[in-house]
Amino acid sequence: MEIMERFEIDVRRSFSHFSFHPFERRIYSHDISVLPSFVEKMVYSQADVIIQPRNVEEVKEILRLSKEYSKPIVPRGAATSGYGGVIPFNGGIVVDFSRMNGFEIDEDLKLVIAEPGAIWWDIQKAARKRGLSLRIYPTSAISSTVGGWIGQGGIGIGSTMFGDIKENVEWLRVLDFQGEKVVEGEDLRYYVGMEGTTGLIISSAVKLMDAAKEIPLAIEVESVGNALKVFGKTKPYSAILMSSEFFRLMNEVKGSDFKEKDTLVAVYLDEEPKIEGFKYEEASEIWKDRFYPLRIKKKGPSLVSVEILLPFEALEAFYGEARKLEIQHAIQTYFSRGEANVIVLIPSDEREKRFTQDWKKAFKLLKIGLKLGGKPYATGLYLSHLSKKVIQHFDDLLDFKRKVDPQNLLNPGKIFPKGRLPMMLKIAGLII
Amino acid sequence: MSEANFLKNLSDEIYACAQCNYCRVCPTYKIEKWESVSPRGRLYLLKLMLNGSKIDSVMLKDFFKCTTCGLCENICIVDIPLLELWEKARNWLTKVKGPLPAHKKLADNIGIHMNIYGEDRNLRDAWFPDNVEISDSETLFFAGCTASYRVREIAESAVKIFSRFGIEFNYLGRDEVCCGSTLIRTGQKEKAERLVEKNIKIWERNGIERVITTCAGCYRTFALDYPRICEERGIDFNFEILHLSQFIEREAGKVIKDGMKAKLKGRATYHDPCHLGRHAGVYDEPRELIKASGLELVEMEHSRENSFCCGAGGGVRAQFRDLSLEIGKLRLEEALQLNVDYLISCCPFCKMHLSHSKKVSGLERNDKPEILDISEVVLKVLNENGF
């Protein structure tokens, strides 16, 4: 019997929720990114099977099958990221955690203990009922999963006060080929932001805070430096700088009437700071829209984007360069502690030739960001050739990866470059 | 129209999908949990087809598992007109691949018996009470297939309400013809168009100017689809279309609120039928009538624009019965959490389906909540007052 046949029989015997259907495999083999077609041809492949485990025992069985048949494992949350982290470019098993979506709130310890498929906003709604709240959450919280964001890492709403997701994880339970582990403290760096390359997160304890009244304020700012000065004087829970172009595009697609000025939106908890001019009546409306930056995709209908983590001192120069782009674009900057995530969104059209040109401009911005001391928000699959340069303690992480996953079956090609693809993508980046 | 041409016309909408997955609210996705049935999955399927992929029978079925409730459109961040898109795509897929078996059966039933259930046309008016008079009024009561054959208490309550308030109305009895809603929703628009013409001719022949219905599906079809189809076909459409809740609230809401001293007791929640609420924007009148009856109205987690489908629409109940009942159970659970005495809706199809969902949930007929239609609530309060 062929190996694939035996594999299929084993899957059918072990799981109740799986799919070998070609279209289902296709659907679960992409994320939200859309790349120029010649790049997509390089990276897109198809999973062998999609499995939706219901419990830890089934995740263990997936690991067993992976080892026995040398099938890569690609964990998947809501696939709302765009770095190719969930793309099974070597085929294998896509593990969709949507059926492991339970969570419990520990009111005494102010923690949520969540399965990987739990949705951030479902947690927030439940936490609110108990007088608690998430400290941080991604702007995609309405649909994105706990496992997905911890796996990718990063900053979000609330990071101005509470830092990145790693700082908000108390502990993780992970599974790898050796078994189950509880990870906490410094060791979290081996898993948070590692895209499931070192183990599968099966449970996470994420820190909560007492629920507080959110007071969004907004002020027009003349420069990024001005924005930093304004929010630096206070202690906002969250601070986002939105460019005039962002509001222009939002007004066009939404029919809203936001002032088309660079605007700092800062959110305070319980107490409103007393700063002159810092109270723009549309702040609440802008704050409500925090989950919908992708609305401007309607202008496209496609969107090209680049996300760069920059030190505060590099922001002014980066904005200057971005504004030299002779192209319609919007910028949103999310401030964390000491660094900011700058997102440049370019409405485009994947059906037209200009799509490749727009990607070229996005890559140019990425290079400028790197020169200014920044790093990509994530490396995933597409930017794994940059990992060694931009990820702290990369060699240590690589040693760890080799130790826990000697066959490189855990989401291969993500974070840690594999084969010729990273070089091809690097070249593609130079071409487009 | 060829595949390429049809899909090209929808290309802007198909490419606009941000794949954000906010449409995970989809009732079908909540039950099945496979992206092929989710709105973003279906849009991705259309995108693949636009680029040359062929749909197979499994995917075709998945595409039709949508109840056309429109919740995805409500949440879509790029404002894709998804309801219209699903209907156009279903219409096209049906032309290319033929209707799904249960949907074909619906069309056959209508073709032969003029109702979706394949029941004897001569029994369409069997529910009509003896002591209620029909006049040649320009106001027509349109009972619809479900209230005529399956949930007759709704049609009966409606005409009794008219009678009690002395409202003259016409009723076509055995000449009443299915509105065509199910055909439009299941991709068989061309067959529905014949019903549009038929109904309009009958109405004109009877001097009808205003049509009142208790059915949310009929209402949506008459109020939104008929004018559009008539425009496409160059037919005049000059009828006022009202749902019973609108009509009663307008004509008698104040009397019920202030004039009826004996009030109903208990706690109730209101299920917005997708066709009446999200599709047609009728939210307040049924709620006003519930409050006027004296019942305490509490809202479910999903209400008004965010209301959750009962699971029956879009041909799902006909073709995918188990799935539709699972969705119905989810809706019922929301009501159960509120510990209400009554779950009230404004649609015979919703009432029938929620009642079946209650049964398969293991709840007894007498267990709370009692599932009622707004017409029954209004009649109850009239009865309480000897009106």
pLDDT of A46 reads: 93
Give residue A38's pLDDT band: very low, low, confident or very high (50, 70, 90).
confident
Cross-strand bridge partners of residue B241: B211
pLDDT of B4 reads: 64
What pLDDT, in 10s, does the model give residues A219-237?
Answer: 899 988 888 888 788 889 9
Three-state DSSP class for residue A240: strand
Under 8 Å between Cβ of A279 and A264: no
Give residue A39's pLDDT band: very low, low, confident or very high (50, 70, 90).
confident
Under 8 Å between Cβ of A131 and A105: no
Q: What is the 3-state secondary structure (H, E, C) of chain B?
A: CCHHHHHHHCHHHHHHCCCCCHHHHCHHHHHHCCHHHCHHHHHHHHHHHHCCCCCCHHHHHHHCCCCCCCHHHHHCCCCCCHHHHHHHHHHHHHHHHCCCHHHHHHHHHHHHHCCCCCCCHHHCCCCCCCCCCCCCCCEEEECHHHHHHCCHHHHHHHHHHHHHCCCCCECCHHHCCCCCHHHHHCCCHHHHHHHHHHHHHHHHHCCCCEEEECCHHHHHHHHHHHHHHHHHHCCCCCCEEEEHHHHHHHHHHHHHHHHCCCCCCCEEEECCCCCCCCCCCCCHHHHHHHHHCCCEEECCCCCHHHCCCCCCCCCHHHHCHHHHHHHHHHHHHHHHHCCCCEEEECCHHHHHHHHHHHHHCCCCCCCCCEEEEHHHHHHHHHHHCCC
Distances (CA, A) of A289 to A74, A149, A306, A343, B299: 32, 20, 20, 16, 25
Give residue B364's pLDDT band: very low, low, confident or very high (50, 70, 90).
confident
Q: B61 or B7, which is more confident? A: B61
Under 8 Å between Cβ of B340 and B297: no
pLDDT of A425 reads: 80
What pLDDT, in 10s, does the model give residues A340-358?
Answer: 999 999 999 999 999 999 9
Assess whether the previous peptide bond of A406 is cis (omega < 30° from 0).
no
Chain A hits for B79, CB-CB cut-off 8 Å, are 253, 298
pLDDT of B1 reads: 58
B79: contact with A, CB 8 A cutoff: yes
- How many CB atoms within 10 Å of residue B29? 24
Chain A hits for B15, CB-CB cut-off 8 Å, are 300-302, 349-351
User: What's the average model confidence in pLDDT over A284-298?
Assistant: 94
Under 8 Å between Cβ of B162 and B132: yes
Chain A hits for B24, CB-CB cut-off 8 Å, are 78, 119, 143
Answer yes or no: is pLDDT of A137 > 80.
Answer: yes
Answer yes or no: is pLDDT of A432 > 70.
Answer: no
| Cα distance between residue A291 and residue A280, in whole Å | 20
User: What's the average model confidence in pLDDT over A357-363?
Assistant: 92
Structure tokens that stand for A37 in this block = 């077609």
Instruction: Please give the sequence-ordered ranges of beta strands (E in DSSP) within A211-273, or none if there are none.
Output: 214-220, 238-242, 263-269
Domains and CATH numbers, chain B: 3-97 (no CATH), 102-245 (3.40.50), 259-384 (3.40.50.11810)
B81: contact with A, CB 8 A cutoff: no
What is the distance in angstroms between the Cα of A153 and the nearest Cα belonging to chain B? Answer: 18
What pLDDT, in 10s, does the model give residues B232-263?
Answer: 999 999 999 999 999 999 999 999 999 999 99
| Cα distance between residue A83 and residue B234, in whole Å | 51
A53: contact with B, CB 8 A cutoff: no
What is the distance in angstroms between the Cα of B58 and the nearest Cα belonging to chain A? Answer: 9
Q: What is the 3-state secondary structure (H, E, C) of A316-350?
A: HHHHHHHCCCCCCCEEEEEECCCEEEEEEEEEECC
Query: Best interface-test mutation with B: which of A21, A24, A27, A37 has the largest number of B CBs within 10 A?
Result: A27
Do residue B78 and residue A294 have CB atoms under 8 angstroms apart?
yes
What pLDDT, in 10s, does the model give residues B8-27?
Answer: 889 999 999 999 999 999 99
Structure tokens that stand for A242 in this block = 């939105």
Chain B hits for A142, CB-CB cut-off 8 Å, are 20, 22
User: What's the average model confidence in pLDDT over A363-375?
Assistant: 94
User: What's the average model confidence in pLDDT over A276-287?
Assistant: 83
- Express as a percent the part of chain B with pLDDT over 90: 96
Do residue A351 and residue B19 have CB atoms under 8 angstroms apart?
no
- ipTM for the assembly: 0.95
User: What is the end-to-end Cα distance of chain A in Å, rounded?
Assistant: 45
DSSP state of A422: H
Nearest-10 crossing angle of helices B226-233, B189-205:
90
Assess whether the previous peptide bond of B369 is cis (omega < 30° from 0).
yes
Tell me which chain B residue has its CA closest to the CA of residue A54.
Answer: B33
Do residue A292 and residue B58 have CB atoms under 8 angstroms apart?
no
Under 8 Å between Cβ of B92 and B1: yes
Chain A hits for B26, CB-CB cut-off 8 Å, are none
Task: Please name the residue that has the structure tokens 């041909």.
Answer: B315
Answer yes or no: is pLDDT of A374 > 90.
Answer: yes
Amino acid occupying residue B326: E
| Cα distance between residue A49 and residue A9, in whole Å | 12
pLDDT of B348 reads: 98
Give residue B3's pLDDT band: very low, low, confident or very high (50, 70, 90).
low
| Cα distance between residue B128 and residue B146, in whole Å | 14
Domains and CATH numbers, chain A: 3-98 (3.30.43.10), 99-210 (3.30.465.10), 214-376 (3.40.462.10)
| Cα distance between residue A18 and residue A10, in whole Å | 11
